Structure 1
Amino acid sequence: MRRFFASIFRFKCVKDIFVFLLLVCLTSFSVAQELTIYTEDWPPVNFKNGNAVDGMAVDLVRALQARIGGHQEIRLVPWARGYKAVLEEPNVMLFSVGRTPEREKLMRLLGPIAISDTVLYTRKGQAERLRSLRDGIYSLPVGAYRSSIFVDVAKKKGFQHIEQANSPQIEANMLLAGRFDMLVESSVAINQILKGIGRNSSEIEKLTVLDSLELYLAFSLNTSPEIFNAWENALRAAKKDGSFQKIYQKWFPDEMPPMDVQRLGPADRP
């Protein structure tokens, strides 16, 4: 009889262990698989390189995926499509997203993964003339990437006429073709944008720095907490062990990487 009950006890223990391990595996699978990842063509942070996606943020996301055990495809889409998805669909991640107070209410942000200046540029030789206009400069057309944070910054700074283009490359071509005299762009992106259209930074000059831009990984509000927490833990580990710094300095050798980790969004407000 004792042997009978001992056998049952051993059977129950083995069964419980099996069920526990199965639940752990299912949870890991859920965290790794249930996220749709979008990015945009905005070099050198994230961009199309032949048939693949590349860039500083792409390298980082892949490194974090390796820690989590995820293998989701990074889909390069127009900014407006990715932004709509992160606002409306569950378990979506979009990068790289500029932090604003408005966006903190609309999505969950994890980062920063990069920091740059938001700069007002003009064609070479035009800066002195434009500065002489003083407040009159705000009535002139200024170019910005459609639906981007650069449009928001230009509006907040008082520019009244904003010409929005469907890609950073189109807006750069429009500036150099004289369609408008000023362009709002990121200091870390402008050189690669110009290179992508066969031009270079000697053809433009800086008017002024409008703002500082922090870039984040953005998650839809109804993303599973398990998924978001897994990505946060992976980012914290990458910044702690030095792998984040290596990725950052590969792409931005003269810049200091942001080493803090913040999670922002309605769920994190008191």
Structure 2
Amino acid sequence: MHASGRLSRLLIMLALTAGAARAADHEPALVIYGMESKPICFTENGKPAGFAVELAQQVTYRLNRHDDIKVVPWARASAMALAAPNVMALTMVRTPERELTMRFVGPIFNSYIAIFASKSQAPQLRAQGRGAWLALRGAARRGSAFIAIAQRHGYRITDETNGSESAARMLVQGRFDLWFEGEEIAMEAARAAGLRDGEVELLQRLETQEVNFAFSRATPVATVQAWEAALRDMKRDGTFQKLHRKWLPGYPLPGEAKAGVPAKAGH
């Protein structure tokens, strides 16, 4: 690229940054909710941490915003994002139903939705085969897309848990037979629940879904667009990829970051 071209690009980026900063000065504060889902979002020494947390913090820094991140139960996070203005859920699977009530920016990572069983039941379940699993008791996190995904594949959801840690514990206790959860967080949830490695086993991966930042519909479009632009820049300059490798090593980047094309926002 010629020097004049590089200078032009720099000036454009400075102008966009300045515009975002001016917009942030006049926009209401955004309340950001995440849930305990290590390594994506969790509490460490009383402060939010994890991949989605650091990603959001980097966006707010670039936009000259000072929005708080609160780690709360998933049901509360999703309910607030659906109903209250100026609310963002750190992580949410994008579905046609949610498109009607929320605006999305992403994707930020892939969720590998899978079926888990307790160590004591796993060998027998594998021997029986998937056909027998359809009649068993299944559970997923309350308010999550995992419920509809499991049901779409023909499974029964008899329990909706408050969180991933309680689900792991209840699975081992025999409260249900199958647990539907993201592969990237399930084993960390089991450890956080006090279980030993190996007490929860992966049976089968069901499907992959892209996870996004999700904004309440009452959030100003300008705010959503500013987050979209900042995330796009992070994917272009490599910041996004660096954070993804740090927190999700071994997992592929979501499609857009891999291809280096712009992120999408639902407007």
TM-score bucket (shorter structure): 0.7 to 0.9
1:263 lines up with 2:258 in the alignment? no
Is the contact between residue 21 and residue 63 of structure 2 (CA under 8 Å) also seen in structure 1?
A: no
SS in structure 2 of the partner of residue 48 of structure 1: strand
In 2: Cα distance, 1:261 partner to 1:250 partner: 22
* TM superposition shift of 1:257: 1.9
Is the contact between residue 108 and residue 218 of structure 1 (CA under 8 Å) also seen in structure 2?
A: yes
Is the contact between residue 147 and residue 157 of structure 2 (CA under 8 Å) also seen in structure 1?
A: no
Is the contact between residue 154 and residue 162 of structure 1 (CA under 8 Å) also seen in structure 2?
A: no
Q: 2:122 aligns with which of 117, 124, 127?
A: 127
In 1: Cα distance, 2:139 partner to 2:20 partner: 51
In 2: Cα distance, 1:169 partner to 1:25 partner: 39
Match of 2:182 in 1: 186
The one-letter amino acid of 2:241's match is: Q
In 1: Cα distance, 2:22 partner to 2:232 partner: 24
* TM superposition shift of 1:78: 1.8
SS in structure 1 of the partner of residue 198 of structure 2: helix
Pick closer, same or farther for the CA change 1:129–1:248 going to 2, 3 Å: same
* TM superposition shift of 1:166: 0.9
Match of 2:7 in 1: none
Is the contact between residue 20 and residue 63 of structure 2 (CA under 8 Å) also seen in structure 1?
A: no
Match of 1:8 in 2: none
Describe the superposition over 1:177-233 as per-residue Cα deviations: whole angstroms up to 9, x where unpaired. Answer: 122221111111012111212224422222211111211000111221211111111
* TM superposition shift of 1:129: 2.1
Is the contact between residue 112 and residue 261 of structure 1 (CA under 8 Å) also seen in structure 2?
A: no
In 1: Cα distance, 2:157 partner to 2:33 partner: 30
Match of 1:14 in 2: none
Q: 2:51 aligns with which of 49, 56, 70?
A: 56
Identity of aligned residues (%): 34
1:102 lines up with 2:97 in the alignment? yes
Match of 2:16 in 1: none
Where in structure 1 are there 5+ consecutive unaligned residues?
A: 1-22
Pick closer, same or farther for the CA change 1:181–1:25 going to 2, 3 Å: closer
Match of 2:72 in 1: 77
Describe the superposition over 1:93-149 as per-residue Cα deviations: whole angstroms up to 9, x where unpaired. Answer: 111111222222221111011112100011225334224154332121112111111
Where in structure 2 are there 5+ consecutive unaligned residues?
A: 1-18
The one-letter amino acid of 2:65's match is: G
1:248 lines up with 2:249 in the alignment? no
In 1: Cα distance, 2:157 partner to 2:69 partner: 35
The one-letter amino acid of 2:52's match is: A
In 2: Cα distance, 1:256 partner to 1:212 partner: 11
Q: 2:84 aligns with which of 85, 89, 93?
A: 89
Match of 1:232 in 2: 228
1:44 lines up with 2:39 in the alignment? yes
Pick closer, same or farther for the CA change 1:115–1:24 going to 2, 3 Å: closer
Is the contact between residue 224 and residue 265 of structure 2 (CA under 8 Å) also seen in structure 1?
A: no
Match of 2:110 in 1: 115
In 1: Cα distance, 2:118 partner to 2:199 partner: 6
The one-letter amino acid of 2:53's match is: V
TM-score by length of 1: 0.83
In 2: Cα distance, 1:53 partner to 1:237 partner: 24
SS in structure 1 of the partner of residue 158 of structure 2: strand
Q: 2:194 aligns with which of 188, 192, 198?
A: 198
SS in structure 2 of the partner of residue 102 of structure 1: helix
**Number of aligned residue pairs:** 243
Q: Which aligned pairs between 1:124-163 and structure 2 lie closer than 5 A?
A: 124=119, 126-131=121-126, 132=128, 134-163=130-159
In 2: Cα distance, 1:251 partner to 1:57 partner: 9
